[in-house]
Amino acid sequence: MKLYNFSLAPNGLRVLAFLKEKKIKLDTHEVNVRDGEQFKEPFKSMNSFNCIPFLELDDGTIITESVSICRYLEEEYYPNPPLFGNSPKKRAQIDMWNRRLELDCLTPLGHALRNKISFFADRVLAGTRNNIKQSNDIVERGIEMSNLLFDRIEPHLEKNKFICGEEFSVADITGHSIFISFERLKFEVPSKFKNVIKWKSRLYEKDCFKNE
């Protein structure tokens, strides 16, 4: 089993945080996606979506998508600590929170990044090089969607230590990526979201998000 990753990319960081929290050591190869190594062989044939991270199983199967990789590792090899939940109900709740954070905030922020920062001008869509133009509307929409999400989770975080209760989960790893995206976009979490800011501080204290 071998992980292909680029540690500086937001989704690369998510998988790394998951591995660190579970104390998993995986054989890992860094693919320099900034320089387009993912478009060259052998990587191109391994993942036609030209993105990282992806996991190569011993039988040659390729699993892409950070959350699917983490889900597989937890289910097949590393159950503890359970970051996806240890019952169908808890798994549904964590999955729900992870999706809310991804679909309503992290993904729009990912699009905001690629539509704002000049480095991404020829790569507005992940895993491509083309002439699709950066759009300020998409940057603005990322801010609007983040504010809506924060507004919705602010009361929920009044009585929850982490996004899905007392236990840290994969949804909190997604939450951490939201704040990292904010840093890269030079956005500030509005000060009225006091519980969101407390949650952010709690996440930043976790060892799994610290550089060694």
Q: Give the shortest CB-91-to-a second copy separation in angstroms.
A: 7
Per-residue DSSP letter, 2: E
In the complex, which residues of this chain contact a second copy (CB under 8 A)? 48-49, 57, 61, 63-65, 67-69, 71-72, 75-76, 88-89, 91-93, 95-96, 99-100, 102-103, 107, 111, 125, 128, 132, 135, 137-138, 141, 144-145, 148, 152, 155-156
CA distance 18 to 177: 12
Considering the complex, state which of residue 160 and residue 206 has its C-beta at the smaller distance from a second copy.
Answer: 160
Cα distance between the two ends of the chain = 24
Q: Quick one: 81 or 204, whose CB is closer to a second copy?
A: 81
SS3 content of the chain, % helix, strand, coil (to 5): 55, 5, 35
| Cβ 130 to a second copy shortest distance, Å | 9
Query: Between the CA of residue 171 and those of 35, 65, 164, 167, 177, what are the distances in Å?
Result: 30, 15, 8, 10, 10
Q: Which is nearer to a second copy, 190 or 210 (CB)?
A: 190
Q: How far apart (Å, rounded) are the C-alpha atoms in residues 85 and 169? A: 8
In the complex with a second copy, the residue whose CB is nearer, 104 or 206, is 104
Give me the least distance between CB of 168 and a second copy, in Å please: 19
Nearer residue to a second copy within complex by CB, 8 or 103: 103
Sign of the torsion formed by the C-alpha atoms of 138, 104, 209 and 125 = negative
* Least distance from a second copy to the Cβ atom of residue 76, Å: 4
Q: Considering only CA atoms, which of 171, 174, 167, 166 is closest in space to residue 80?
A: 167
CB of 189 to a second copy, least distance (A): 19
